[in-house]
Structure 1
Amino acid sequence: MKKQFAVIGLGRFGGSICKSLSEQGMEVLAIDTNEDKVNEFASIATHAVVADTTEENTLKSLGIRNFDHVVVAIGDNIQSSILTTLMLVEQGVNHITVKAQNDYHEKVLSKIGAHKVVHPERDMGVRIAHNIVSKNVLDYLELSDEYSIVELEAGQTVNHRTLIDLDIRAKYGCNVMAIKRDEEINVSPSADEVLRQGDIIIVIGADKDISRMEKDLFDEDD
């Protein structure tokens, strides 16, 4: 049985989620106060409606509590975002993900019962910053204030060396989760796995340890 999603707010973030869910074959209700936006997604989402989600009766008429997951992606109107989230919580929606504009907004959303709060602009900014600071970091995912997952490209320093030879876990406290080579992905590679230049190494660990490891093993002069 297909999961049912509702996306409230059809700006760049909400619109992207709506399109992606629809492409994955999910049932999606697209909601916005802007009729032009709703018309734009009428052929993409399962249903698209013009509605003010800060109105309790409006949400009830949409049967919002029957949806498996509701995403609140309202743009700059923090008040509408908070009121909508509060209404969803009061109506007993099982999973509520909300886009936050800033840390204060996030604190309020968490206090009133949002299940997950995301900062798409901030998080993307952090990822881009890591990518442009180091040519070796291809992607970056922050797990907490201190731990992350990074994708690093193998260069000459690690070329033809095995994981046991590099001893990444003992020396740096990091774990190699997977190695991507061309189209193949080796998950939980063995200690005798030989690295090649151009391999993508996916590593999890503390930021300070990853930074140290990157400097020792991946930071090469052009």
Structure 2
Amino acid sequence: MAGRIEVGVIGLGKFGLELARNLREMGHGVTGIDSSTEKVKIAKPYLTHVFQADGTDQQTLEQLSFQDFNYVVVSTGDSMEASILVVLNLQEIGVKKIWVKAMSDAHKKVLNKLGVDFVVFPEHFAAKQLAYKLATPGMLDYLSMGQDVLIKEKKVGDWKGKTLIDLNLTNNFQVQVIAIRKGGTDELNFVPKATEPLEEHDMLVLIGYHENLVKMP
């Protein structure tokens, strides 16, 4: 497939395995390792390659060619020390991009100091997404981009007959229409025509900062 990437995943607990499975479903190659025999057994049907191995051992990582992957994700459970050691070993063997699941603010701070490309708090992200979903009617997704960026739906309603040019939402509200769900159907029309009149039951799919989306009428 075009754009196929090869990803290494160190640690096949709930987060690591779920990430690996999703990547495989998208057609990408995933090699996973874990020191647990049971976790390796569970992961085997879903990943391209799975090995029972110690992710903190630099020689093992090099022998398994982790330095050749486009990305390596570190998800090593509850040990901050192990996570940091894995990162140092990956950097030592020349891994291009390192993403790490952090366990605490202190862990994140150390990872940032080490120059890790991306740090994620899965629980924090999920909790924030749920909070926004509860508090923001029509929200479809929450995007972590260093800002509170949301994707939400809004019914055309009183804007019927107007075009996207007429509404000028980018300048008036600093939000962008990325798709239209016509007449309440499930089909999304991405990159909609700005000159086409909107119908009352159409749903606009908008992206923007939370503070701007909630100001819209």
Q: For this structure pair, what is the TM-score category when the shorter chain's length is used for normalisation?
A: 0.7 to 0.9
Residue 219 of structure 1: aligned partner: none
Deviation at 1:190, TM superposition (A): 0.5
Check conservation: 2:175, 2:206, Cα contact below 8 A.
no
Q: How is 1:191-202 mapped onto 2 (pairs within 5 angstroms)?
A: 191-197=195-201, 199-202=203-206
Amino acid at match of 2:26: Q
Give the TM-score normalised by the residue count of structure 2: 0.86
Structure 1 stretches of 4+ moved >6 Å: none
Q: CA RMSD in A?
A: 2.3
Residue 113 of structure 1: aligned partner: 115
Query: Cα 1:179–1:142, aligned 2, differ >3 Å: closer, same or farther?
Result: farther
Q: How is 1:1-222 mapped onto 2 (pairs within 5 angstroms)?
A: 3-145=5-147, 147-154=148-155, 156-181=157-182, 182-187=186-191, 189-197=193-201, 199-204=203-208, 206-213=209-216, 216=217
Aligned-pair identity in percent equals 33
Query: Cα 1:70–1:195, aligned 2, differ >3 Å: closer, same or farther?
Result: farther
Deviation at 1:103, TM superposition (A): 2.5
Query: Cα 1:9–1:195, aligned 2, differ >3 Å: closer, same or farther?
Result: farther
Runs of 5+ unmatched residues, structure 1 = 217-222
Check conservation: 2:72, 2:99, Cα contact below 8 A.
yes
In 2, distance between residues paired with 1:84 and 1:149? Answer: 33
Runs of 5+ unmatched residues, structure 2 = none
What SS is found at the alignment partner of 2:214?
helix
Total equivalences in the alignment: 212
Check conservation: 1:38, 1:50, Cα contact below 8 A.
yes
C-alpha deviations, 1:195-221, integer Å up to 9, x for none? Answer: 5435142222x33222211xx2xxxxx
